[in-house]
Structure 1
Amino acid sequence: MVSYFVPRGRFLLKAGNIRKAIQEQQQQQPKHVQQNGNWPVLRHFRQLPSNAASNESTAAKPKPERIRQQTQLQLRRNVLSRWTGFLLRWAPMGLCVFGAIEWQLHKLRCGRDGTQRTASEFQSRVYCSLPLRIMSRCWGWLAACYMPNPLRPYIYGWYSSIFKVNIDEALYPDYNHYTSLAEFFTRPLKEGVRIIDANSPLVSPADGKVLHFGSASDSLIEQVKGVNYSIEDFLGPLQTVEQSNEPLSYAEALKRKRDGSTELYQCVIYLAPGDYHRFHSPAAWEPTVRRHFSGELLSVSPKVASWLPGLFCLNERVLYMGKWKHGFFSYTAVGATNVGSVEIYMDAELKTNRWTGFNVGAHPPSTYEYDELLLNVKQPDQPGQKFSKGDLIGQFNMGSTIVLLFEAPKNFKFDIVAGQKISVGESLGHIADRN
């Protein structure tokens, strides 16, 4: 037999009177509880004494001081969130507007002074403050990652079509041969694809585009037309104390022949991403010292080179100075954005693109901060390092720039024009007949 009694306090209540008991319980509850319309749970029928309920409501009621503190804290949070949202929303636009105004003012100043429109000191510092070294290291790591075999034809084919890579000249024209992008960038060429001009005293060290060439007899020389850089900041101090103490200009002190028959010249060749990334010796010469300048990794594209003065003096570079048959000779590989490293095959100790920490916007106080290594130290069992014309020197892991600075007779004439495409082994110039 099923019981029709349910417990209610100390009494038994008939099941038919349950609705009446629920209504009485609802009448004893506070008004805000009644307005919610929540149906009471049957297992909570036991009623609390009136004094106990009043004590519980009093204990649950927060104190006025606590309410005031919570209100102030919530107000602060609301103000902070509103200002944070305002800054995140409008600060980028404000920076862009400020940059555009500064750009236009600098443009007006250049037009008023009649000078070429190049980067101001402020624009240069902003550009150098970008995390380009971090980006370059990430790109170097990504380029060295293993490329799955099915993706190689698509990735390398897309890269070749975008940057106009002539894969038929490569020693291995099959895309599946290259296990990573870095290996594809530094691909070797077939034997005989590049012919070294035997009649020219100076040939192109790399495939690329001629940015600038000409005389380097002044303290400031051109990196592109109309944009200069300091030859002293680029090469660093003179090698010997005797050279430093001589009452001559820096360019004149570099010369090995002081009879007035020679002059300093320069040639700048830019390697695009689709070019052959290995570089060779342009002449028969002998390096005597290596200097590694750990600078910035700014882009060295022709547009940036024509916009940022002293670009080659700011960037990381590996400089070899020595001599050839006509006197002083220097060979410089300039680093750039996304160049994972500059590799010199004869110099195993050289490490470029090293991690230098989060020194955003920090610049070395002088371009004379470099690591120096003396080469060709006289040892009985080890001959000095010498290069012949066309010898392989090293490679870039992405496009960059080669700068030649050399001493030659005054009748040396260039065989190139600015902006032309040139390949390894093609003549850069010749020595004209004085007659």
Structure 2
Amino acid sequence: MKKKLLKSLVELTGNPLASRLLQHLASSRLSKPLIHTYSNAYKIDESSMAYPREHYTSIQDYFTRTLKPGARPFDSSKDTLISPSDGQLSAFGPVEDGHRFTIKGHTYSINQIFMDEKRASVYKNGWYYVFYLSPADYHHFHYPADGHVNSRYALGTISYPVNNMGLTYGDKPFETNYRLITELSTEFDKVALVKVGALNVNSVQLYSSSKEAHKGEDFGYFSFGSTILLFVAGDTPFTPSVSEPGAILVGETIGTWHPNTPSSKN
């Protein structure tokens, strides 16, 4: 009964009308007085924000805040992969059985995430990372490596929450939610960033259509909380630089390619 009730609440949150109402209220100047309460409730570290709290005109304006230049330093070496976002690194590891991985008791198929077996096949012998962005986090995403943008495309329609409740009781949100996928060719491997929208289909925003990806560059943001899936193809030997899930910041090294090591792939 409890699971059924929670699942119903998750589906109600994904209602388009409720989502539009929430977006309207959050972006309205009427929400400005709530910024103080919001900041205190989520214990947001404001020391790295580009502007003081008083600068922001609404909850959404504050939520999508930028940072001071240099607030997220990173290793510029070509052979390192960095975190594309702040938040929680919820899970990472090799893609098992060629095409599946498990999070919160759900087994996900990368064929379903990409909705195209040919696109998914690129990452079937690679690695995956899952980054969850809570309401307290900085919600911009950055390129994790230098490279060329091969494609950008959107999939999915319904948007369930991607918080712990949504992942546990929702209908596999990574496979059903609206998501915007950016695929890069780096010097070593192909990399895909799957930005998973939450609450409404307009929650993923990109700055430009540039085909060049510069490591550490801010190239978009979530207007509501969400999740990023990062896939690495695995053509070049690769080792994760993280030992366990936990809090992470944009720019922290999460993996290293070893181009001079013979590949174990057949």
Bin for the TM-score computed over the shorter chain: 0.7 to 0.9
Cα drift, residue 306 of structure 1: 3.6
Contact 2:29 2:58 in 1 (8 A): yes
C-alpha distance in 2 between matches for 1:285 and 1:434 = 21
3-state DSSP class of the match of 2:47? Answer: helix
Q: Which amino acid in structure 1 is aligned with residue 47 of structure 2?
A: D
Q: Which amino acid in structure 2 is aligned with residue 183 of structure 1?
A: D
Cα drift, residue 326 of structure 1: 2.0
Residue 422 of structure 1 aligns with which residue? 248
Residue 224 of structure 2 aligns with which residue? 398
Specify whether residues 389 and 431 from structure 1 end up closer, same or farther in structure 2 by C-alpha distance, changes over 3 A only.
same
- Counterpart among 224, 241, 260 of residue 103 in structure 2: 224
More relative contact order, 1 or 2 (CA 8 Å, 6+ apart): 2
C-alpha distance in 2 between matches for 1:186 and 1:265 = 29
Residue 178 of structure 1 aligns with which residue? 56
Cα drift, residue 162 of structure 1: 0.9
Specify whether residues 336 and 130 from structure 1 end up closer, same or farther in structure 2 by C-alpha distance, changes over 3 A only.
closer
C-alpha distance in 2 between matches for 1:426 and 1:294 = 30
Cα drift, residue 192 of structure 1: 1.3
Specify whether residues 239 and 227 from structure 1 end up closer, same or farther in structure 2 by C-alpha distance, changes over 3 A only.
closer
C-alpha distance in 2 between matches for 1:307 and 1:194 = 34
Specify whether residues 424 and 123 from structure 1 end up closer, same or farther in structure 2 by C-alpha distance, changes over 3 A only.
closer
Contact 1:211 1:302 in 2 (8 A): no
Contact 1:220 1:228 in 2 (8 A): no
Residue 284 of structure 1 aligns with which residue? 146
C-alpha distance in 2 between matches for 1:129 and 1:218 = 34
Cα drift, residue 307 of structure 1: 4.0
1:135 aligns to 2:18 (yes or no):
yes
Residue 63 of structure 1 aligns with which residue? none
C-alpha distance in 1 between matches for 2:9 and 2:28 = 32
**Structure 2, unpaired ranges of 5+:** none
Residue 208 of structure 2 aligns with which residue? 346
Contact 1:227 1:309 in 2 (8 A): no
3-state DSSP class of the match of 1:268? Answer: strand
1:197 aligns to 2:197 (yes or no):
no
3-state DSSP class of the match of 2:72? Answer: coil
Cα drift, residue 205 of structure 1: 0.6
- Counterpart among 30, 38, 45 of residue 166 in structure 1: 45
Task: Report the TM-score, using the length of structure 2 for normalisation.
Answer: 0.85
Higher helix share: 1
Task: Report the TM-score, using the length of structure 1 for normalisation.
Answer: 0.54
Specify whether residues 204 and 186 from structure 1 end up closer, same or farther in structure 2 by C-alpha distance, changes over 3 A only.
same
C-alpha distance in 1 between matches for 2:118 and 2:184 = 11
Specify whether residues 319 and 226 from structure 1 end up closer, same or farther in structure 2 by C-alpha distance, changes over 3 A only.
same
Cα drift, residue 221 of structure 1: 2.5
Q: Which amino acid in structure 2 is aligned with residue 132 of structure 1?
A: N
Specify whether residues 187 and 123 from structure 1 end up closer, same or farther in structure 2 by C-alpha distance, changes over 3 A only.
closer
C-alpha distance in 2 between matches for 1:317 and 1:305 = 15
Contact 2:157 2:176 in 1 (8 A): yes
User: Deviations along 1:124-144, whole A, 9 cap, x unmatched?
Assistant: 688546653222211111111
Q: Which amino acid in structure 1 is aligned with residue 27 of structure 2?
A: A
C-alpha distance in 1 between matches for 2:206 and 2:71 = 22
What are the equivalent positions in structure 2 for 1:10-409 lying under 5 Å apart? 99=1, 103=3, 127-128=10-11, 132-147=15-30, 152=32, 155-173=34-52, 175-199=53-77, 201-218=80-97, 220-224=99-103, 226-238=105-117, 251=121, 254=122, 263-308=125-170, 310-337=172-199, 341-347=203-209, 385-409=211-235
Give the fraction of aligned pairs with identical amino acids, expressed as a percent.
Answer: 28
When Rg is computed on C-alpha atoms for both structures, the one with the higher figure is 1
3-state DSSP class of the match of 2:26? Answer: helix
C-alpha RMSD over aligned residues: 2.9
Q: Which amino acid in structure 2 is aligned with residue 157 of structure 1?
A: H
Cα drift, residue 317 of structure 1: 0.6
C-alpha distance in 2 between matches for 1:304 and 1:224 = 12
Higher strand share: 2
Contact 1:223 1:268 in 2 (8 A): no
Q: Which amino acid in structure 2 is aligned with residue 385 of structure 1?
A: K
C-alpha distance in 1 between matches for 2:102 and 2:57 = 36
3-state DSSP class of the match of 1:189? Answer: coil
Cα drift, residue 431 of structure 1: 3.2
Specify whether residues 226 and 219 from structure 1 end up closer, same or farther in structure 2 by C-alpha distance, changes over 3 A only.
farther
Q: Which amino acid in structure 1 is aligned with residue 22 of structure 2?
A: W
3-state DSSP class of the match of 1:408? Answer: coil
How many pairs does the alignment contain?
260
